[in-house]
Amino acid sequence: MARRYRYSRWDGTQTGFDLDAEGVLGEIADDLLYHGDLNAALRRALQSGMRAPDGRQLEGLRQLLERIARRRREELERHELSGLGEDIARRLDEVVDLERQGLDRGELPHDEAQARHQTLDEMPPDLAGRFRELSQYEFADNDARRRFEELTDELRQQLLQSQFNRMAQGMADMSPDRMAALKDMLAELNAMLAAREAGEEPDFAGFMERHGQFFPGNPQSLDELLEQMARSMAQMQALLSSMSEEQRRQLEELAEELLGDMDLSWQMNDLARHLQGAFPDLGWDRGYDFSGTDPLNLAGAPGLLERLGSLDELEHLLRSATSPAQLAEADIDRARELLGDDAADSLEQLARLARMLEEAGLIDQRDGRYELTPKGLRRIGQRALSELFSKLAKDRIGGHKVELSGSGHERSNEHKPYEFGDPFALNVEQTVRNALRRRGAGTPVRLSPEDFEVEQMEHLSRSATVLMLDLSLSMPMRDNFLAAKKVAVALHALISSQFPRDFLGIVGFSEVARELKAAQLPEVSWDFVYGTNMQHAFMLARRMLAHESGTRQIIMITDGEPTAHITPTSDGGSQVFFHYPPVQETIDKTLAEVHRCTREGIRINTFMLDASSGLRRFVERMTQMNRGRAFFTTPETLGDYVLVDFVEQKRRLRRTG
C-alpha cells in the first residue's frame, strides 16, 4: 500500500520541526571550514545556539546563563533576611502575651502570678535565650504551653529541613520517636563515613533498609546520598554566610538550643565536617546578596535554598560543559520549572547535537574527540557546492550535468542508485527489479525514487587538477580564507560526484608547501607563519601530476605574491628563505618552477584575491610564460569564477575530445 499523507494549513497549533542532523551540520559548517576544528565548532554552537528549521532560535549556553542570572536576581531582589528572626520573635511574643493573659485571669495566687510576670519580664532578648527560659518555664496557660510546644516542633522541623531540604518528606513528623530515629540515622551515617575514610566498605544496603524512610529520593549509592546531603548543607551554609553577623549568631544559637538537647547538633556538625572534606567544590563559603523587601522565614527557606541551589548546579554544569554530551546530565524538568519551556527545550536540543550527528553517521568519536566521517565530509562538500552554485545565474552554468549525447562519453555498462544531480540515464531493467524486490511480485509495478538506477557514464575527456590553496596568515587577516576553503571543498565535491574519473590533488602552501588529502580538507586551517612559498607548491603539484594522463592543470588561489622559496644548504639539505617584500631570487626561482610546469604541458590558472601591484606584475609574467589564465576575484565571487571556469573547461574538452 502506498503511504498517504494529509496536508493542512498552518494554524499555529501544529508541532514545529525539530533540529535534525543535516541542519546541525549546516549550522556549524562555516565555523568548521574557517577554523578547521570540529570540536571547537561544536563548542561555539553550544555557546551561541542556532536556528531550528521551524524558524525558532535555539538558545545557546550564553543565553541560558543569562536566564539563570536573571532568575537568581529575581529571587534575591524579592527576599530579605531579617524576617528569619523577626517572625520567630513575633510568635514568641504571642506565646508570652497568652501566658500574661492567663496570669491576669487570677487563677494563681497573686504573689505567684507576680513572680511569673517578673520572670517573663526578665527573659533574655535573644531568641536562643528566650527559648531556653521558656523551655524551663512552667506555663499557667494551657493555650500558651500548646503554642510554644507547636512552635518548638515546627522550628526544629524547619531547621532540619533547611539543612537537609532533599530529605524534607522524611522529616514531616517531629515526634520524640522520630527525632530519636533521626539521631540514630545521623550517628550511623557518620560512622559509615569514618569507616570509609579508614579504607573499609560500609554496608549501604543495610543502612537504607534501616533508614530509607528519611530519603524519599531513593539514592542508589552512598556517594549519591552524600552528594544530595552535601548540596543541601552547602546551601544552608550559603544562607548563613549571607546574613549579618548578629543574624547568623542568633540563628546558630537558636539551632543549638532547639537541637542540642537531643544530641542532634553535634551529629549534624560532625556530618558537615565529613561532607565538606568529601565535596570541597560545592561552594561552602559562598553567600547571596539579598536586597528585597519580602521577609524570609524558616518555613520558606528550604524552598528558596532548593531553587537557588538548583540554579547554581545548572550554572556550574553549563559553564563547565565543553561538549554537547556533558549537557545530558542536566535535569530538563527542573530547568523547565526554573527557566521556562523555551530554555528547557533549547537545553534538551543542545544536549542532542553531537548524538544526532553520530546517529546520522556524519561524525564519530575517537579518543575523546569528534571527527568527521567520510559521509560527513561528503555532506560538507555537497553543501559548499550547492551554496556556490545557488548563487550563479542559471544561464551561466545551468545544472552543469553531463549530457547523454555528444562525443566524448559512452556507457560504461555499470549502473548505480540515482542521486540528486545525476544525469537521468535510467537503467530500466534494474529499476524494475528494485521495485519488485522491495514491494513483491504483482501488477501494477509501483516505482519510488529509491528504486531508480542510472547508467554510469565513462568520461573519455579525463583531466587531472591540482588545487594550490594559500594558507598564509594574510588569508584570514584579509577575510579571504573561508571563501577559498569553501571553493576547495566544493571543487572536491564537484569532481568526486560529477567527474569521478578525474584526478584532484590539493596542495596547501605558506612558508612551505604540503600535500593535503581530501579527508583533511574540513579541518585544514591557516598557518601562523609568514611566507607565500609558491615555488615549493608548484614543485609538489608538478610531481603529483607527473603520472596523470589527460588534460593537466593547476588552479592556484592566493592573495599574495611569492615571498619564500626553498634553497639548498651546504650539507646537502635545504632550508626556507623568506623576505618581504619579495627579492628577485624568490621571483626567479618561482618562475623557474612555472617554466618546468609549462614544459610538461601543465596549465596554471590563477585566482587572485588581492589587487596589489606586486601580485599583478608577477601573475602577468607567469601567464605570459605558461599561457594559463588569471582572474582577479573577491571572496564573494571566487566560487563563481573557479567552478564556472572548471566546468566550462570540461565542456570544451567534451566538444574537442
Q: Which amino acid is at 459?
A: H
Burial (CB count within 10 angstroms: exposed 0-12, middle 13-18, buried 19+), residue 606: buried
Q: How much is the pLDDT for 397? A: 36
Rounded to whole angstroms, the Cα distance separating 31 from 38 reads: 8
**Domains delineated in the chain:** 21-79+314-372 (no CATH), 82-289 (no CATH), 409-459 (no CATH), 461-656 (3.40.50.410)
Q: How much is the pLDDT for 1? A: 43
409 contacts 458 by C-beta, under 8 angstroms: yes
Give the number of other CB atoms < 10 A from CB of residue 589.
21
Note the pLDDT tens digit of each residue in 96-149: 999 999 999 888 898 899 999 999 999 988 888 898 899 899 999 999 999 999
The answer for residues whose C-beta is within 8 angstroms of residue 205's C-beta and 6 or more apart is none
Q: Which amino acid is at 355?
A: R
Rounded to whole angstroms, the Cα distance separating 239 from 244 reads: 10
Give pLDDT < 50 ranges for the chain.
1-3, 10, 12-17, 168-170, 393-411, 458-460
Rounded to whole angstroms, the Cα distance separating 35 from 481 reads: 10
Nearest residue to 314 (alpha-carbon basis) of 299, 327, 324: 327
643 contacts 490 by C-beta, under 8 angstroms: yes
Cell for 213?
Answer: 524512610
What single DSSP character describes residue 426?
B
Nearest residue to 555 (alpha-carbon basis) of 590, 597, 591: 597
Q: What is the dihedral of CA 352, 357, 361, 364, to 10 degrees?
A: -90
Direct distance between the N- and C-terminal alpha carbons of the chain, in angstroms, rounded to an integer? 49
- What value does the mean pLDDT of the chain take? 83
Q: How much is the pLDDT for 534? A: 97
Strand locations in 330-451, DSSP E? 363-366, 369-372, 409-417
In angstroms, how far is CA 20 from the centroid of its own chain? 15
DSSP string of 322-345, one letter each residue: -SGGGGGGS-HHHHHHHH-HHHHH
Query: Exposure pattern of 129-148 as b/e (b: 16+ CB <10 Å)?
Result: ebbbebeebebbbeebbebb
Give the number of other CB atoms < 10 A from CB of residue 649.
18
Give the number of other CB atoms < 10 A from CB of residue 272.
18
Beta bridge partners of 370: 365
Note the pLDDT tens digit of each residue in 409-438: 444 556 778 765 566 778 888 888 888 888
Nearest residue to 607 (alpha-carbon basis) of 626, 627, 587, 633: 633
Rounded to whole angstroms, the Cα distance separating 363 from 135 reads: 69
The answer for residues whose C-beta is within 8 angstroms of residue 55's C-beta and 6 or more apart is none
Give the number of other CB atoms < 10 A from CB of residue 60.
18
Q: How much is the pLDDT for 15? A: 44
> Would the pTM of this model clear 0.75, i.e. be above it?
no
Rounded to whole angstroms, the Cα distance separating 200 from 205 reads: 15
